[in-house]
Chains A and B, each alone.
Chain A
């Protein structure tokens, strides 16, 4: 991990962004967007998670490319589990 010391202002800004994102998620949930409700909610959640990873977990400032490889790999593997399982569930009723 790098020795970069983040500024207090940055941490406070990220914190406020995360709280705002939470509020936004709750408000949007009350609006009917059909199937896009889930998309919006998960998109906001992913933005929040990305902020935590980049700034609170210092991944933005690390010199280690391996850290990012590990994160991406884990997410990719999870995607394999979800996608190939849905390949079965999503197509069972086709025939």
Chain B
């Protein structure tokens, strides 16, 4: 790693205009950005973690009703979404790789693909939400979820417990979708700068950091999918 002389109050650092004044070297700046993003992702783990805690407790209490709720979700749509996000993780990893190898056009193509896949995910999610709305599975005054618990034809579904399942479903996937929207917005800005050829082997920190964020959002979904869609599917 090359380093530039220590910047002082009276002599601004030379060369890379992306080097901010309070850092001594580009390496220090990049390491700070990287640590900052990882620490931020740690806070996000705890943020989603609170919801996973609520989910864990209610699934423990109301397993049957949760199973019924889970079965009303569409595995084809959820599974497709999982695959879509996995593909978008690939494209963003390829975007970072393209920056490392100095291929500006590839960066732009990969970022655009990532955003498109993200929008596909959000579109499918929209369809799923619409289905839930039409079927009266949205918590609230018109909530109605008739049926019986999977594997127990004599036990009717407890409407309150089922409503809790759907509340958690909407809040967890909704918060996840919100994070995806933020991610797509971030990539839009970065794509703009990528088109201006700002990124290359000498500097691609924003691409990498946004990529870390995007992979994290993918990982959250990797857990949400089996927890929400695949409870008691064999019954």
> Which A residues form the contact surface with B (CB < 8 A)?
1, 3, 5-6, 8, 11-12, 14-15, 18-19, 22, 25-26, 29-33, 37-38, 41-42, 44-45, 48-49, 52-53, 55-57, 64, 66-67, 70-71, 73-75, 77-78, 81-82, 85-86, 89-90
Contact = CB atoms under 8 A, between A and B. Distances in A.
Contacts of A25: 225-226, 230
Given A45-B226, A86-B56, A18 B234 contact: no
Nearest to B45: A74
B31 A64 contact: yes
Interface string B74-100: 010001001100110110111001001
Chain A interface SS verdict (over half): helix
Given A29-B233, A73-B42, A89-B60, A1 B222 contact: no
- Interface size bracket, B side: 35 or more
Contacts of B50: 81
Nearest to B99: A5
A5 B101 contact: yes
Interface string B207-218: 010011001001
A6 B97 CA distance: 7
A15 B49 contact: no
Contacts of B195: none
Contacts of B215: 52-53, 56-57
B218 A52 contact: yes
Contacts of A12: 90
B48 to A, nearest CB: 9
B234 A3 contact: no
A51 to B, nearest CB: 10
Contacts, number: 131
23 contacts: A11-B93, A14-B90, A19-B83, A19-B86, A22-B83, A29-B230, A30-B234, A32-B234, A37-B232, A45-B223, A49-B219, A49-B222, A52-B219, A55-B93, A67-B38, A70-B38, A70-B39, A70-B41, A74-B46, A78-B49, A85-B56, A86-B60, A89-B61
Contacts of B222: 45, 48-49, 52
A57 B219 CA distance: 11
B66 to A, nearest CB: 11
A70 B36 CA distance: 10
Contacts of A1: 30-31, 34, 208
A53 B219 CA distance: 9
